[in-house]
Amino acid sequence: MFGTGWNTVRGMPVGFWLLLVWLPAFVSPLYFHIAETERKCFIEEIPDETMVTGNYKVQLYDPRTNGFAPSSPGIGMHVEIRDPDDKIILSKVYSSEGKWTFTSHTPGEHVICLYSNSTKWFSGTQLRVHLDIQVGEHAIDYANVAQKEKLSELQLRVRQLLDQVEQITKEQNYQRYREERFRQTSESTNQRVLWWSLGQTCILVVMGAWQMRHLKSFFEAKKLV
């Protein structure tokens, strides 16, 4: 990244300042380890029309230094996002560092799966994945908004409050939808218990009557009765 012709480090003008500017693009400090062939999924239960942003960075385990290489450009990560109806919203391979965004169109559980595009059959080396997922108003970059729309501090604050209130409203709506689903499930259970109990009682009675009739005719045929 800094060029192969760089021999000295003491005089560090360009690279140092580049780093200072570039570092804020780096992703979150939260990370976890997965095997190279392992698939890791996260579930986001969100209302509809909600934006979800994810940042990730992958590092490959380097056995020589017994640590993780600072950057591993060779690996790619496959990001697959499914909506509550199990339809694929996003399925793309990104490089070792990536940022993805999607907006939900149905409320419910969205599943975000990450796995490396390694072609090995059994688990190879360990991968360190830095991940940051932000939902709804947390996904909005207010610095960007302030700059683009030239908002003053108070205006920006009001915009933030508006976004938060909108998110709260969506969540309340979603809550109503979930509660209705729960009610439907409970009513369905009630129906099922009722009809199956009745059905089973009927079957028992009919079975008993049939048994008696059949055996009676059997014994009569055998001349035992």
Partner 1 sequence: MMWPVGLRSGSKRWWGWSMALIWGWWCLSGWTLAVELTFELPDNAKECFYEVIEKGTESTLEFQVVTGGQYDVDVVLTDPRQAVLYKQVKKQYDSHTFTADITGEYQACFSNEFSTFSHKLVYIDFQVGDEAPLPGMGDHLTAMTQMETSSQEVHENLNAIIDYQTHHRLRETQGRKSGEYLNERVMIWSIFVTGAILIVGFGQVLVLKSFFSERKPVQLYGYN
Which residues between 22 and 61 bind partner 1 (CB under 8 A)? 23-24, 28-33, 40-45
The residues, ordered by sequence, that sit 6+ positions from 104 with a Cβ below 8 Å of its Cβ are 46, 47, 48, 49, 50, 52, 83, 110
Spell 12-42 as b/e; 16+ CB within 10 A means b: eeeeeeeeeeeeeeebeeebeebbbeeebee
Candidate list 38, 48, 53, 71; residue touching partner 1; CB under 8 A: 71
Candidate list 25, 149, 199, 217; residue touching partner 1; CB under 8 A: 199
DSSP state letter for 41: E
Interface characters, 125-164, with partner 1 (x: CB under 8 A): ------xxx-x--x---xx--x------xx-xxx-xx--x
Work out whether the CA dihedral 190, 196, 199, 201 comes out positive or negative: negative
The yes or no reply on residue 17 touching partner 1 (CB under 8 A) is: no
Residues from 91 through 130 that contact partner 1 (CB under 8 A): none
In the complex with partner 1, the residue whose CB is nearer, 63 or 119, is: 63
Minimum separation from the CB atom of position 211 to partner 1 (A): 6
Minimum separation from the CB atom of position 2 to partner 1 (A): 5
In the complex with partner 1, the residue whose CB is nearer, 110 or 116, is: 110
Q: Which stretch binds partner 1 (CB under 8 A): 19-27, 74-82, 87-95, 99-107?
A: 19-27
What letter represents residue 57's amino acid? K
Largest Cα–Cα distance in the chain?
115
Q: How many residues bind partner 1 (CB under 8 A)?
A: 78
Phi, psi of 190, deg, nearest 5: -60, -45
Q: Quick check: 128 and 59 in contact, CB under 8 A?
A: yes
The yes or no reply on residue 209 touching partner 1 (CB under 8 A) is: no
